[in-house]
Amino acid sequence: MGEPAVTASPGRPADLGVAATVHRDLIRINRALRSTPRPDELTAGCMSALWTIAEHAPIRATEVAELEGVTGPTMSRLVGSLEHHGLLARSIDRNDRRVCLLSLTPEGVDYVNHASSKAETLFKEALYSLDSDDRAAAQRVFARLAEALSDPFPDSVAAEPELEEGI
């Protein structure tokens, strides 16, 4: 039949396995890197949209929403916030004047560069607190995870592989 039910002791969750533990740790890393925004900083959603626009500009808001996996109304709020902060500019598509294209203002470019360097600095400091073998292992593992996660439809869907204890 299926796997036996995993029970938890009172006040303590059941062992969810390696995948759940790694996922939890990635969430903790992400939270630490983005930290609680100060009033002059953007939310994670705004920052993600800003990076997407920076990478694909000029781009339609509907395309950004699709890339970000959010609804049209959510993207409208994000775009409004980015415009309010002076980080985003709208322009008219020369081929179709009904279409509005989004791109970064010079302030938006500066913001992305600063935010990227801040997160990179925090991550670099944490990474270099590890010994060289652990840094190399982290690089290999994160590269493999990123590759595996970038393909939403792998060629074959295999059963969950056996994972080594302590990974």
Task: Please write the tens of the pLDDT for every residue from 85-113.
Answer: 999 999 998 999 889 999 999 999 999 88
139-156: per-residue pLDDT in tens?
999 888 878 877 666 665
The DSSP output letter for 130 is S
H/E element holding 17? none
Rounded to two decimals, what is the model's pTM? Answer: 0.57
Q: What is the mean pLDDT of residues 30-46?
A: 72
Token pair belonging to 150 = 């970038």
Q: What is the mean pLDDT of the chain?
A: 81
What span, in angstroms and rounded, lies between the C-alpha atoms of 60 and 99? 7
What is the dihedral sign for C-alpha 35, 36, 42, 48?
positive
Q: pLDDT, tens digit, for every residue of 67-88?
A: 998 999 999 999 999 999 999 9
Q: Domains of the chain (ranges plus CATH)?
A: 38-150 (1.10.10.10)
* DSSP type of residue 160: P
Q: Burial code of 26-42, b = ≥16 C-beta within 10 A, e = fewer?
A: eeeeeeeebeeeeeebb
